[in-house]
Each structure stands twice: as structure tokens, then as C-alpha cells.
A and B are shown apart, each in its own frame.
Chain A
Amino acid sequence: MLTYASTPLFAPFSIPLLLEKLSSSLPLTKVESFKYLSYCTSKYGVERMAEHFKTLWSSVKDATYVSPETNLSTEAGFMSEMGFQDSDIMKQAFVLLQELVQQSNGSFISLILEDEDIKIFMNSLNQYEDFDNIPIDIRQRLHAVGRIISVCVNTSIASCNKVFESFFPLLMTYLGLSVAKPHENSCLAEDYNPPGRLNFGALYLCVEVLSACRYLVGSDELTPIPDFANQTWGVMLHNVSKSLAMVFISLLRSNVAENSQNAYVCYGVKGLQNLATFPGSLLAVSKSTYDSILLKLMSVVTSDINKTFLWTLAMNALVEIGSFLDKCPDSERLSSYESIVVEKIFSLISSDDSNMPLSLKLQAAFEIGATGMNFMLRVVQGLDEAISATLSAVYAHGNRKSVEPTVKLLEYYSNKVLPWFHKSGGSEEIPLNFALSIWDKIENNRSFNLDSLENELLDATMMAMKQAVGSCSEGSQEKIINKALGVLLSSNCLQWMESISGNTPSEAEGLQQIHKLDSFAIRDEWITSLFASIVIALRPQTYIQNGKFILQFFITTLLNGHVPSAQALGSLVNKLPLKITGTPLSKNLCLDEAVDMIFHSCIWTSYNGSTYERGSSEIDLSSLRLCSLSPESDKIHATIGLAWIGKGLLMRGHEKVKDITMTLLNCMISDGDRGSLPNSKHPSLVCNDEDLHHQLMKSAADAFHIIMSDSESCLNKRYHATIRPLYKQRFSNTVMPILSTLMLKYDSPSIRSMLCRAIAYVVSDTPLTAILSEAKKLIPLLLDCLSMMVEDIMNKEIIYSVLLVISGILVDKNGQDAVAENAHSIVNQLIELTTYPHMMVIRETAVQCLAAISELPYTRIYPLRTLVLRAMLKALDDPKWVVRQEAVRCRQAWASIASRSLHF
């Protein structure tokens, strides 16, 4: 291409060649030659090309108008191009056309405008009034002409003028308007209705021309055209703009739009949008017209909810107009947009008596708001008001109906609005005020009129609170936490705290008391949860007043099984500074102090019957033994708490996590000293008690899951957690040896199953690379885990994750060596899993693993061949199609390691 266009001297030779190539019947050749031609045109200059203009135009016309190759796309594509999609040839032809029009200074455009075919077509437009009556080939032509004209219009002002001169009056006449005498147009009346059907062809071309003009003036904003008003097209457009707008508006009227006249509606909206987005300096529409456009679109948005197509179109148009205003602000229009659109949206959200569903309202609000910061601020104000209104309805009156909308509002707030502010760098006023206003609400409603906790609402509120606090800076976070602390201190929580503090931890009465107060008041539960969510989302640098109290508070609530408190504790130990700088206040907290407090608090009391002999860490392990006097259910809560605290410590790489791990391990293996537990004295309690104890062991094992996995609700990047790189590897490297030695040591089935559980959790959350180096040691352990866990249906998720680890080992080169050594046992275990009845993906993965094993060295696996083939025969009969498919593949893989035959 570069060679062809290198010098104009080539023109006499190359152009005829390319034109000849164009007449080929191969589509690709056509595309190529159009490409070459347009490139050459830009290089050769007008003089050389002028002699070919006629041939060029006729070839462009051939490709686009005479025999257009367009594909009718689906309904979704209707928004543009009348549902047609240009073929590559047409696209390239239009590129060439644009190039020619641009280069030729008007000679080429007159060629187009004087073309007989186009003229005849334009004059014949009134034959096809109704969209549905237009045959498909005429529609294609209409589309082609529309494209040709719009290419001419958007190339230059001069060409635009020419097009307007020759076609625009004609188009307007078709639409029933007069360019010369605009005031006589009948449609100026407000309730104008088009007589019968509007000429669709004219409407279509008119909208195309408009959007091309928009593009023309929009493209060179840097060099404003001073004499816009004097340009022919400007004058023409200005004269008819008001009547045009009225025509478009009349298209949207319900009686016209109801017959799902998609084409008319679509172009009506598009026309309005184009009229409304002309740059203000080149004023095409007056303020009153602009206002009526906005009003019409807005009324569509508010009232025509069930006409989805129309609604979406109108919404998009409003969004376009809004974002255009944001780009080129114009005070007059800005004020009308604000007063008409934004205020309407504002009142929509804050009022709840509307026939518009809330989700649509929210969608509209967000889309409009997202077009500009000022709009968003206003919209958020509305949202805030709505949230506070519904919240007080819930709090004060226990209004059940308000719960659902409140949840929706809050979710919208935390999922859309706050991230938007975060992304667009908005001020932190919004989240700060939001958080504070929620606390105000709680403070003002001394008693909650709720008869149940409304968990869903609480979750949504906590989520929003976390998000809001997380996106604040340190200063604002301090404000929020101080406010919250004030509310907390004035609530009943404090009395409740006091009632149990002062008791020495080992005193049984104290512990009993916890149980009496175990039922939190609903309001207190709300306060605690929300307070916990603040603490979870704090930044590490935020200064926390009264830290010790907070810590103590969470420890007590944690014992009541309040999980967010545990998460908050985890976040606290994750983020607390190592040392306090400056003047240390007695109430301030640093990490070591906090950890000491936690470890010496009443959850864990001294217990001298330690059976675990590895107690070589700094803190005496015995002090960490869970209090044997407290009921098992408390211990379960404590274990969960320990898990979150451990996670927080682990993520910052603190060494104390070792102690927590040891405690958890002790918990798991405490089955042996059951006899010494005082609770098992009463025979009638034994059964229930055993059950509880089993749960305790299980929760200790599950704690490893908490420690190793990534959490959505706390201790992640979004909530500013301190995360040391590779912490998972480090943890699994220290824990796995301990777990495996314990596995060797104990042979009680319940302990072993718990150990297996822990191992499975740790392994499945460790990055694969860390596992691969240990694969040889791990594989027997994992197989033990699998065989142990197959029995319980509840374990299917863990089994699946372990299976994934194994399949990960199988595909790796190093892993394969390790597998080869244990091939026999692995295959046996996998075969067992191919008939696992409770989860399809387990069977599927097992079969896939077996197929992968067939890649191992021949000598290792040949003895297993019959075994696998027999298992695959069963898998071929699997109820699930996917498994059968995999089984066929696996069977072929194994059959082919000996020969093609499947006989064995």
C-alpha cells in the first residue's frame, strides 16, 4: 500500500489497476482495493484523482447503494443503523467516500448530489410512508443513502451546506414542515399530533443528517465556527429546530408509541438527543424547546415504565445529554437540566408513593448522577434522605414493609454510589456524612421497635458502613469512631459490660452471668455490629481512643458468639501500631499490649492439665488453654474468635500466631482427656455434651479455614489490612509438619478426622507452588484425608478443593514424580471418588485426574490399567452427561497406553 502511494507519478497506472480489481467478485479483493484507493487518494492529491471521480463514485455507489451487502442484525442492534450492519466492503467504501469528499473541494460532492439515482430515490420517498410497509431492499437503500449523506455532511462545513441546500427543504416538506416560513408550521402547538403516519424515510434521513451535523460541530470544538449563524445549514436548522423538536416529541406520545413502533420511537428519541446536545454557542434550539425536550424525556422515564424499549432509550438519551453538559458546560442549559431532570430524580427517590419500582428509580438515579459530580451530589442527597426516612420507619415504628426497600437502598449505596465516588475521586464528605447520619439515627431512637433482628437489613447496613468507613481518610474515620463510641457508651451495652467485669475470670459465677445476659437487646446488637464494622474498616494509622475498652468490649461480645466482634478483634490486632509514639495515654493501645490483654482475658483461664508437651513458646501455653469450666458452647465461640485473631496476626506476620495455632491444635486433640472434664459427670448430659464437644473440635478444625482463606467481609485490601507477602506459605510451612506428626501419633478416629479436616483446609488454601515442593510428603496425607472425609456428605466442598489440589499436582512436572511413587494408592482413591454420589464435579474431576495419570511412566501405571478401565466402564453409565464425556476420554487414554483395543 505504501509503495502504491509513494509518489503521485504512479497514479495513471495504479488507479485503473485498482479500479479493475474492484470489479472482482471476491469480497476480500473489494475490501482491499477500497482500502488502497482511499490511501492513495489521500496521497495523490485532487488533480490526479479528478479524472477518475466518475468511475470512483459509480463504484462506491455500486458497493453501497445499488447492491448493498448488509446483514440484518437482531433487535438489539436496532438502536442504530436501522438494524443493518455494514459489511466490510461498505465500511471501506464509506472511508473512501469520506476521503474523496474531503479532498475534492466540492467537485465530488456535486457529483453525488446531482446523481440521478439518488435524486429519484429522494423524490420517491413519499411512496413509503409507514415503516412496516417499506420492503427490505428499499430499507437497505434508505440506510445506504443515509450513510452517504451523513458522510458528506460530517466531512466539512462546505459540503454540509451543499447537502442542506439540496436535500433539507425536501425532507422537511415530507415531514410537513416548511423551512422558509417556520412560523407557519402547524406543529408548534403543544398538543400537535402528526396527521396519520409520519414519513419514515424522511424521518430517518433527517435524524441521520442531524447527528452528522452534531458530529461536525462537535469534532472541532477547539476552533469554534464564528459565523455559524450565517452558514446556510445553520440558518435552516435554526428555523426548523423548534418544529422538529415538536415532531419528535409527538412521536413519543403514548398513543403513537404504544403500538411498539420501535423504529419511530427510536428515531424520535435519537432526534431529540441530537437537538439537545448541540453545543450551546451554536445554538440550535431555544431554551424553551430545550426544556420541553427534557420534560418529555423525563416524563417517559417516570411514567412509561412498562415500555422497556422506550424507557431505556429515553434514559440513555438523558444520560448522553447529561454527560454532554458535563463536558461543555453551559449555564443556561445546566440550570434547566438541574431543575428538570435532577430535581425530578431527587424527588422520585425521596418520595415513596410512586408507581415506579424502586430498582428502576435507583437505576435512573445512578445513571443520571454518574454523568456529573454535581448531579451525583444532589442524587446522593436524595438517597441519604430516603435511607434515613426508611431507617427511622424501621427503628421507630418497626415497619416491616420498609425493610426491603431499605435493604435495596443500602445495597445500591454500597455497591454503586460509594465505589463511584471512590473512582471519580470525590470528596470523602459523602461517606463520612452517611456513616454519621446512621449513627445519629441510632442515637435518636433510644428504643428499637423491632421484634426480630432483621438480619438482612443489619447485614446491608454493616456492609454500607464498612464501605463508607473504608473510603474515608484517617481524620474522618476518627470522627466516626468517636461518634460511635459515644453512642456505644450511652447504650445498655456498657451496663452489660460492667455487670461482668470485676468478676475474676476463673469464677464460675461470672461466667454464669454472661449467660444470663446472653440475650442482647436488639438495639445493642445493632450497635455492637455496626461498631464492629467500623473497626473492621479502619485504616492502620487511625488513632483509636479508648482502645483498651474497645478491646475488652469485643472480647466479651465475642464470647456471646458475635462473629463481627471476632472479625473486629482480628482487624484490630492486624492494624494496631507496634509502639505508640508521642505522649502515651493510658487508654491507648499498642499491639503487644493488646495481644497480652487478649491472651490473659477471661476467655482463656489457667488450666493445669496441659496434655500437650510442646509448650516451648514465650507465653505459657497452659494459660491459653480454653477454660475447662466454661460451657462448650462458649468455647466454640472462643475458638472462632481465636481464628479471626490468629488470621489478623498471621497476616501481619506476628509470631504470637504460633500460640493460637497451638491452642487450636490442643482443642482438636483434646478428645483424649475427656474423662477429666467436669461437665461429663451427669449421665443424662453426656450425649448432648459429646455432641457439643465434637462441635468444638470441628470448629477448631474449621478455624484453619478461617485463618487460611481470603475473607470478603474483613481483613482484605479494601479494608486496609496489613498483608505480608507469602503469609499463607509461611503458615502452611509451619503448620503442616505439626499436623502430619500429629496424624502419626493419634489413632482415635474422631481426632484423625478433625486433623484431616484441618490439613485439607490448609492445603487447599495454600498456593500450589508451595505445595509442589512438598508433594511427596503431602500426597499420602491428602489421600488419608480423602478416604476419611468421603463418609460425610457435609464434606463435599472440602473434598472438592482437595481434589483440585491433587489435580494441580498431577499436571505439574515435579508433581508427577511424586505421584508416580504413590500411583497405586492415588488411583485407588480416585476410583472410589468416581462413584461419589453427592457432587457431580467431584466425579468429573476424579475422572479427569485419572486421565492425567495415564501420562505417567508406562511401567508405573501399566499394572493399574485394568483397574481403571473397569472403573471407567461404570463411569460411562454415570447419570451425568459431563462425567460420561470425561469417562470416554479417560477410557481412550488408558486403552491406548497398551494398544487401541479395549479388551482386558
Chain B
Amino acid sequence: MTLGLINANPVVHAKKERVVRTEDSHTDDAVDPLEIYDFVRDIRDPEHPYSLEQLSVLSEESITVDEKLGRILITFTPTIQHCSMVTVIGLCLREKLKDHFPPHFKVDIKVAPGSHANEESVNKQLNDKERVSAALENPHLRQLVDECLYSSEL
């Protein structure tokens, strides 16, 4: 069924050192980009046995949090312009973060401006609740997403 890989030879970057959190019992830790990044950096790429971090699809800088308004914005960069996996990656991010934050947080997932051919339609698709839940009911897509989320291939 597969018609060859879309990006057969991606550039692999080194994993960054994990930041060890220091315990400070007196101040509250606000939700920060690093915390979100720690949740999603290990999601596997749908095509390759590398994590999104290694393919530099995601970085800590590409995540912004506004705790007052309860908004999280994740901007990711597909490895190539016309990557058809971009929606799967977006689905994975959404699925992964869904159960990590209290309900008053709103998660927006976008493709970095100029990094994809169909930028606008992809963005629209990823932030459409109904289309997301419909996509997750598709058993093939569901399986693909689960593989990315729970894979131990890395």
C-alpha cells in the first residue's frame, strides 16, 4: 500500500539534554513551554523511528503558553513542504495533550508559517473539533496515532 516514503532521508538532530527540575517548595510552578515540550518531545514520527524532537519538528521555542487565558499554542514545522503526514502529527499532538491539562486550557496546534504547501487548510483541519474526533474514529488513523504515541521504537 505504501508508495515509498514521502521524505526518505530526513535530517536527524541530536536529542537535547533533559532539564532536571529543581525542587522549590515555596513558589508555584506555572505551566511553562518546557513542561509541554517534555510531554510531546518523545512522540514518534509517523514515518521514521525518530522522535519529533530528533527531526526538529518541535522545539521548546515553538510552544507558547498563556496561563491567564489558559491557552497553549503549539507551532510545528514539517520536515518537507508537502508532507502528507502533517495532519497525523497534529492529531498525535492533540491526542497526547488532551488528557494532560485541566479543561479550561485551550490547545491550538498550527503549522509554522510558510513551512507547508497547504498551510491554511491544515491549520483549519487540526483545530476543528469535529474533524479531529471523526478522524480519531477512523480505525486506521487511530492505529497510526496510537503507534506514534505509545511506540517504544525510539
Contacts and interface: CB of A to CB of B under 8 A. Distances in A.
A269 to B, nearest CB: 34
B25 A881 contact: no
Contacts of A884: 31, 35
B100 A881 contact: no
B101 A879 contact: no
B21 A881 contact: yes
Nearest to B142: A900
Interface in B4-44: 21, 23, 25, 28-29, 31, 35, 39
A881 B37 CA distance: 13
Nearest to B34: A881
B103 interface: yes
A492 B24 CA distance: 50
B102 interface: yes
B150 to A, nearest CB: 10
B98 interface: yes
Given A881-B21, A881-B35, A873 B102 contact: yes
Interface stretch (A241-249, A500-508, A887-895): A887-895
A874 interface: yes
B99 interface: yes
A483 B23 CA distance: 50
A881 B39 CA distance: 12
Interface in A217-239: none
Contact of B101 (A876, A881, A882): A876
B21 A876 contact: no
Interface in A862-903: 873-874, 876-877, 879-882, 884, 888, 891-892, 895, 902
A888 B40 CA distance: 13
A840 interface: yes
Contact of A881 (B29, B98, B102, B104): B29
B99 A888 contact: yes
Nearest to B97: A888
Given A876-B101, A888-B99, A902-B99, A840 B35 contact: no
A902 B101 CA distance: 12
Interface residues of B, number: 15
Contact of A891 (B25, B99, B103): B99
Residue among A874, A879, A895 with the most chain B CB within 10 A? A879
Contacts of A888: 39, 99-100
B71 to A, nearest CB: 15
Main secondary structure of the interface of B (DSSP, over half): loop
A812 to B, nearest CB: 28
A742 B25 CA distance: 38
Interface string B32-67: 000100010000000000000000000000000000
Contacts of A892: 99
Contacts of A902: 98-99
Nearest to A902: B99
B105 to A, nearest CB: 9
Nearest to A869: B99
A884 B29 CA distance: 10
Contacts of A876: 100-102
A892 B150 CA distance: 12
Contacts of B101: 876
A112 B29 CA distance: 62
Contacts of A873: 102-103
Interface string B67-106: 0000000000000000000000000000000111111100
Contacts of B21: 881-882
A879 B102 contact: no
Most buried by A among B23, B39, B101, B102: B102
B96 to A, nearest CB: 10
A876 B35 CA distance: 13
B102 A877 contact: yes
A902 B29 CA distance: 25
Given A879-B28, A880-B29, A895 B99 contact: yes
Contacts of B98: 902
A507 to B, nearest CB: 53
A892 B23 CA distance: 25
A876 B99 CA distance: 9
A349 to B, nearest CB: 38
Nearest to A839: B25
B28 A880 contact: yes
A789 to B, nearest CB: 20
A879 B103 contact: no
A873 B35 CA distance: 17
Residue in A880, A895, A902 whose Cβ sees the most chain B Cβ within 10 Å: A880
A840 B24 CA distance: 10
A99 B16 CA distance: 42
Nearest to B27: A879
A880 B28 CA distance: 6
B97 to A, nearest CB: 10
B77 to A, nearest CB: 26
A348 B99 CA distance: 65
Contacts of A881: 21, 29, 35
A892 B97 CA distance: 12
Contact of A840 (B25, B31, B104): B25
B129 to A, nearest CB: 14
A378 to B, nearest CB: 44
A838 to B, nearest CB: 11
Contacts of A879: 28-29
Contacts of A880: 28-29
A676 to B, nearest CB: 47
A877 B30 CA distance: 10
Contacts of B102: 873-874, 876-877
Interface in A819-851: 840
A796 to B, nearest CB: 12
Interface centre among A873, A881, A884 (most CB of B within 10 A): A881
Contacts of B29: 879-881
Contacts of B99: 888, 891-892, 895, 902
A879 B102 CA distance: 12
A880 B21 CA distance: 11
A879 B23 CA distance: 13
Contacts of B23: 882
Nearest to B95: A900
A775 to B, nearest CB: 31
Contacts of B25: 840
A858 B80 CA distance: 46
Interface in A672-731: none
A540 B33 CA distance: 62
Contacts of A877: 102, 104
Contacts of B39: 888
B4 to A, nearest CB: 31
Contacts of B100: 876, 888
Contacts of B103: 873
A902 B99 CA distance: 7
A872 to B, nearest CB: 9
Interface of A: 840, 873-874, 876-877, 879-882, 884, 888, 891-892, 895, 902
Given A876-B102, A888-B39, A895-B99, 10 more contacts: A840-B25, A873-B102, A876-B100, A876-B101, A877-B102, A879-B29, A880-B29, A881-B29, A882-B21, A884-B35
24 contacts: A840-B25, A873-B102, A874-B102, A876-B101, A876-B102, A877-B102, A877-B104, A879-B28, A879-B29, A880-B28, A881-B21, A881-B29, A881-B35, A882-B21, A882-B23, A884-B31, A884-B35, A888-B39, A888-B99, A888-B100, A892-B99, A895-B99, A902-B98, A902-B99
Interface of B: 21, 23, 25, 28-29, 31, 35, 39, 98-104
Counting from the closest, the 8 A-B pairs by CB-CB distance are A879-B28, A881-B29, A877-B102, A876-B102, A888-B100, A902-B99, A891-B99, A880-B29
